[in-house]
Amino acid sequence: MTDKPIENIEDIYEKMGISRKVADYCLRAEKKLSDRFSEADRVAEINQLKVLDAFRQCKVSEACFMPSTGYGYNDLGRDTLEEVYSRVFHTESSLVRPQITCGTHALTVALSAILRPGNELLSPVGKPYDTLEGIIGITPSAGSLAEFGITYKQADLLPDGSFDYEKIRSLINSRTKMVTIQRSKGYQTRPTLSVEKIGELISFIKSVKPDVVCMVDNCYGEFVETIEPSDAGADLCVGSLIKNPGGGLAPTGGYITGKKEYVDLCAYRLTAPGLGKEVGASLGINTALYQGLFLAPTVTASALKGAIFSAAVFEGLGYRCIPDATEPRYDIIQSIVLNKPEALIAFCKGIQAAAPIDSHVVPEPWPMPGYQSDVIMAAGAFVQGASIELSADGPLTEPYAVYFQGGLTWYHAKFGIIMALQKMFEEKLISI
């Protein structure tokens, strides 16, 4: 240990491989963001208090951290955690389980719990997330809803990103049982929907057909605003615990929250008819799910700050950023159009080099099932595939856009983005 402690931030950056020029430029960009950051902090504080209050109301106690095994009957921690979720989302009932393996699984459970043969599913917001294509049967797939005689209709958004109300009205028929609304743009170019917009859409749909079950795919949206889709009329909200609401600590799991009659159906589908929520051992991970939820508002704000910062940094260099540094944000995903394959690769190498885990690994583009072109991914996560942790990826195809999200702390997100820029600088892809 011959290193002396360094106090100056730019000296620390330099020691960690960041050129002065890159650091100076980024720190200047950060200075302009104080208003945006105060807004993120305001939202985080409201959500922190909402979560804390739910913990207090539900009397979360040390006994909630006891693991259960086997059938998992009378698992106080599991049942109380579900009550906490219901209070946070202002819903009647919740299913929050390690047995829900991922977001795609949570959505599958909800869809197949509600829909019956002969029913129709409608997406009024265009094509859903890639993995849903197989579930619905948009692309033929063994076990899809289509195989059970459930049909699907889709109304695309209008070119300006607004809802095509006329089309939606024309697609709602006697068989329309359920509507799926994806809050986040995911990896598409359409805008992410605000909770307010989702509320307007749900009101419209219910005015056409009151008994349609409205489900929102809430992935990447939790705690970005002070209200959730369940506050705006959604019957079910669905998401993954290795994204926002797990706060980086949940090792696995998913949630479904909403009206009791629908959540009960989801529980019967997840476990078995008649068993429902009564079974499902928590195997000792309750503490992580509670603590993760407790941290989720500030972790989400950190990720959001990272996304805003990166937009400011890359916009300043002439790159197109979606959303840009001034637009309101409704999810934590950032996309930057990098125009060149070398830039996309350098960016991902920077994110990887800045990770707490596997920083020594160099990501390379590789062919991935389901993609036309090679894909490069950077992730140095504590939890495999956790995208609330700083992570980036992009297909090696025009326009060479990188999609990135996450950051358990703002300082790590910031360093990761600065390192991404550093790698581009070293490869002479940018001049500062």
Ligand X SMILES: *Cc1c(COP(=O)(O)O)cnc(C)c1O
- Report, in Å, the least distance between residue 251 CB and ligand X: 13
- Report, in Å, the least distance between residue 101 CB and ligand X: 8
End-to-end CA, the chain: 35
- Report, in Å, the least distance between residue 62 CB and ligand X: 30
What are the residues facing 377 on neighbouring strands?
A: 393
- Report, in Å, the least distance between residue 429 CB and ligand X: 29
| Interface contacts to ligand X, rule CB under 6 A | 102-104, 129, 131, 182, 184, 186, 217, 219-220, 240
- With respect to ligand X, which residue has the nearer C-beta, 55 or 129? 129
- Which residue's beta carbon is nearest to the bound ligand X? 103
The secondary element (H helix, E strand) that includes residue 31 is: helix 20-31
- With respect to ligand X, which residue has the nearer C-beta, 182 or 302? 182
- Report, in Å, the least distance between residue 104 CB and ligand X: 3
- With respect to ligand X, which residue has the nearer C-beta, 129 or 163? 129
- With respect to ligand X, which residue has the nearer C-beta, 330 or 410? 330
- With respect to ligand X, which residue has the nearer C-beta, 131 or 291? 131
Task: Identify which of 220, 263, 258 has the alpha carbon closest to the alpha carbon of residue 242.
Answer: 220
Please report which residue ranges of 316-409 form alpha helices under DSSP H: 341-353
**Residue positions counted in the chain:** 432
- With respect to ligand X, which residue has the nearer C-beta, 1 or 142? 142
105-135: burial string, b at 16+ Cβ within 10 Å, e else: bbbbbbbbbbbeeebbbbbbbbbbbeebbbb
- Report, in Å, the least distance between residue 93 CB and ligand X: 22
Indicate left, alpha or beta for 279 from its phi (over 0: left) and psi (-120 to 50: alpha). Answer: beta
73-84: burial string, b at 16+ Cβ within 10 Å, e else: eebbbbbbbbbb
DSSP 231-279: GGT-SEEEEETTSGGGTTT--S-EEEEE-HHHHHHHHHHHS-TTTGGG-
The secondary element (H helix, E strand) that includes residue 42 is: helix 34-57
- With respect to ligand X, which residue has the nearer C-beta, 40 or 110? 110
- Report, in Å, the least distance between residue 63 CB and ligand X: 30
Q: Answer whether 75's CB lies under 8 Å from 280's CB.
A: yes
